[in-house]
Amino acid sequence: MIWTSSIRLSDLARGVQTLDLVPPAATLAAWGKTLGLVSLPDMQARITVRSWLDGAELSGRFQGHVEQVCGVSLDPFIQVISGEIDLRVVPQGSANTPIEALAGEVDLDPEAPDPPDVLDGDVIDLAHILFEHLALAIDPFPRKPDAVFDYSAPSADLSPFSVLKQLKEKDQS
């Protein structure tokens, strides 16, 4: 069973909605597996959804713990993960849909605010948004806090030229 937590745009007519999201253990296990984690022990989020133009504006914060494998020592370790959620959505067919979404091309301006996401219907899937933000917050090259990369170059000269030099010296003797 897949966990969902959603809100309809029409529900925002009653005012601002603040939701506390805590995915069940089965969902955390599935998310952890999908994201290539050793485990995802816990995750929670608080998201505030308010009306924005003909869509919605979502803001909030999530936090939890992820267990990953250290890229240096290859030991599993748990670290805190957290992030911000700041997103705007509009329904499909909205006059506020970004022109790039309609044209199929994207012109990015790094200084401009992100354009709103386009919903498939009038339902905002908060669980999906939380999963996306979690995936973006995970360190792709995790390093255990006390892990030290200790590399020492081999003392012998192992280049192809050193092998040729040894063969030349052997021929001359």
Tokens of 138: 């995970």
Assigned domain for 82 exists:
yes
Q: Across all residues in the chain, what is the average pLDDT?
A: 89
What's the full length of the chain, in residues? Answer: 173
Spatial separation of the C-alpha atoms in residues 65 and 28, rounded to whole Å:
11
DSSP one-letter code for 147: -
Helix axes of 126-137 and 25-34: crossing angle, nearest 10 degrees: 50
Neighbours of 35 (CB within 10 A): 14
Structural domains in the chain (count):
1
Summarised one tens digit per residue, pLDDT across range 154-167 is 666 667 787 788 78
Residues of the chain with pLDDT under 50: 1
pLDDT at 1: 46
pLDDT at 170: 81
pLDDT at 148: 85
Assigned domain for 123 exists:
yes
Q: Are 86 and 59 in contact (CB under 8 A)?
A: yes
pTM of the model: 0.80
pLDDT at 2: 77
Assigned domain for 146 exists:
yes
pLDDT at 46: 98
Assigned domain for 83 exists:
yes
Q: Which domain holds residue 30?
A: 6-172
Assigned domain for 25 exists:
yes
Q: Is the dihedral of CA 150, 155, 157, 158 positive or negative?
A: negative
